[in-house]
Amino acid sequence: MAKYRKMLVAIDLSEETEQVLETAVSLRQDHGAELLVVHVVERVGTAYGGDVVMDMAKYQDQLNTAAKERLAAYADQYNVEASQVIVTVGHPQIEIDSLAKEHDIDLVVIGSHGRRGFQRLMLGSTANSILHGATYDVLAVRVKEGL
């Protein structure tokens, strides 16, 4: 197995997040690697309610703040320095790939729900999107839902 120097773990803040973090932290210890913990908040567009256009900037700020607070708690729990925690806004695949390249990451760890067929088609798959075209290794952690 390759010796990883810099790892990025992308988490979605779902109930399965801890499974992905535990795997990444274990690998960090095994390899003596740096670990960057990333969450991408998807951009909230403008919502239309009848004839009224509602500004969603305040809602976006609330989502960003909540994500930062949750990531800070995970960082404390898993002994990750605050400087190694990033919350960004955008499309998960694009942001994760950009951060991986910017930080010279050699392994991206991401959760995979193992969805297949119609459900995968409808929901998309961040893990699958990242895997194709990646210039770094990708570890998709099969999460067990409901643990």
Fold classification of 6-142 is Rossmann fold (3.40.50)
* pLDDT digits 0-9 by tens, 15-42: 889 999 999 999 999 999 999 999 999 8
Rounded average pLDDT over 34-63: 77
Q: CA-to-CA distance for 61 and 57, rounded, in angstroms?
A: 6
Q: DSSP letter string over 39-64?
A: EEEPPP--EEETTEEEP-HHHHHHHH
CA distance 84 to 91: 20
In whole angstroms, what is the distance from residue 95 CA to residue 108 CA? 12
Identity of the residue numbered 57: A
Kindly list the domain boundaries of the chain, sorted by start residue: 6-142
The C-alpha angle with vertex 134 and arms to 102 and 83, in degrees rounded to 5, equals 30
- How many CA atoms does the CB half-sphere of 61 hold within 13 Å? 4
What are the backbone dihedrals phi and psi of residue 17, each rounded to the nearest 5 degrees, phi first?
-55, -40
Supply the DSSP string of the chain, one letter for each residue.
----SEEEEE---STTHHHHHHHHHHHHHHHT-EEEEEEEEPPP--EEETTEEEP-HHHHHHHHHHHHHHHHHHHHHTT--GGGEEEEES-HHHHHHHHHHHTT-SEEEEEE----HHHHHHH--HHHHHHTT-SSEEEEEE--TT-
Q: What are 68-121's pLDDT values in tens digits?
A: 999 999 999 999 999 999 999 999 999 999 999 999 999 999 988 655 444 444
Task: Return the higher-pLDDT residue of 54 and 45.
Answer: 45
Taking residues 51-80, what's their average pLDDT?
Answer: 86
Q: Is the pLDDT of residue 145 over 50?
A: yes
